[in-house]
Amino acid sequence: MLDGIEAFLDVAKYGTFSAAAKAQGVAVSSVSRQVDALEKSLGVALFQRSSRRLLLTDAGEQFLPRAQVIVSELEDAKAALLDTQAQPRGMLSVTAPGAFGRRHVTPVVAGFLKQHPLIELDLHLSDEWVDLATQRADVAIRIGVLPDSDLVATQLAPLTRLACASPHYIREHGRPNGPEDLLQHSCLTLSTARAPVGWWTFPNVNHGKALAVHGRFRTDDTEALLEAAVAGLGVVHLASWLVCDLVAAGQLVNLFPADTAPPMKRAPAIHAVRLKGRSHATKAQLFIAHLKKAFGETPYWDRTVP
């Protein structure tokens, strides 16, 4: 039955029997027989077949997440046996936000794999929220305020936001003396409905609430905000891990270097999260510890910002 479940998952993933067969490197008839046998065993049809398209039936929709759990738990059981060996080995799946992953996770992967030559690492970079259980991810890097959950969380670094502008913008419009002056400046803002915790918030300013800044440019992409700031379009309030290189290079100026983030009961931070009791825990813990050591007690990106 396991072969049938794996064939079912591949067909659901790739959309057709032929695509699933190609991914497995087997004949289409082999995949079809496996799915037919599974449907006969379960007593229900999992796919609605037609000459034009292949769709999951209601039963198929209900069975899909359970099938994913079955295969995932089997893989975990196999990995648990490997984890009991003296040297950790096997696949470790890690997911991280795109910009942070490219800048600060990818550069430390080589050192981790060098230390653990029997581990393979699958790094997935995406800004989408990843469900570790359904996506079979072992470690996820998350930035912001963590919601309450059963995940095991390790703080890798605090999240510090800096108000920055280009030297060109400062020459043209002057440098604000304090955060309140930003109300008179062109600020580059997010166009999303709900801004992350801490945006345009400064210690001892506006009773800890976000300033009602405005400007002529807004976007839903922080990389675009960064480029706009370098081009002199206005002031940004971005994470230090994102702006540190440009500040160090003189392309952006940290406007209020003396200010620190206000104390919060649940302050936003950079965390690594993993599932409790997952068999890949040993490898996950090794990778998380490697990240924490590489970033440093004071993150290296904050040490480069004036």
**Domain segments of the chain as ranges:** 2-82, 87-159+268-303, 161-254
- Model confidence band, residue 85 (pLDDT cutoffs 50, 70, 90): low
- The reported pLDDT for the residue numbered 262 is 45
**pLDDT confidence of residue 230:** 97
Lowest mean pLDDT across 34-48, 66-80, 148-162, 224-238:
66-80
- CATH for 161-254 (3.40.190.10, 3.40.47.10, 3.30.360.10, 3.30.70.120): 3.40.190.10
Q: Strand locations in 14-73, DSSP E?
A: 47-49, 54-56
Query: Of the candidates 92, 94, 93, 97, which has an alpha carbon nearest to the alpha carbon of residue 270?
Result: 97
- Architecture of domain 87-159+268-303 in CATH? 3-Layer(aba) Sandwich (3.40)
Lowest mean pLDDT among 190-199, 262-271, 282-291: 262-271
H helical segments located in 101-166:
106-115, 132-135
Q: What angle do CA 198, 209, 161 make, to 5 degrees?
A: 25
Average pLDDT of the chain to the nearest whole number? 87
Q: Tell me: the pLDDT tens digits for 21-52?
A: 888 888 988 888 999 999 898 899 999 887 67
The encoded tokens of residue 140 equal 């996820």
C-alpha to C-alpha distance for 157 and 297, rounded to whole angstroms? 8
List, for residues 169-213, the tens digit of each pLDDT value.
999 999 999 999 999 999 999 887 677 778 899 988 888 888 999
Residue 250 pLDDT? 95
| pLDDT surpassing 70 at residue 278 | no
CB–CB of 79/280 below 8 Å?
A: yes
Task: Answer whether residue 279 shows pLDDT above 60.
Answer: no
pLDDT at 263 over 50: no
Residue 24 pLDDT: 83
Indicate whether 264 pLDDT > 60: no
pLDDT of 291 > 70? The answer is yes
- The second-level CATH assignment, the architecture, of 2-82 is Orthogonal Bundle (1.10)
DSSP state of 105: I
Instruction: Name residue, tokens 């994913």.
Output: 68
Q: What is the pLDDT of residue 16?
A: 86
Can 87-159+268-303 and 161-254 be said to share one CATH topology?
yes
Does 289 score more than 90 pLDDT?
Answer: yes
Pairing of strands 218-219, 90-96: unpaired
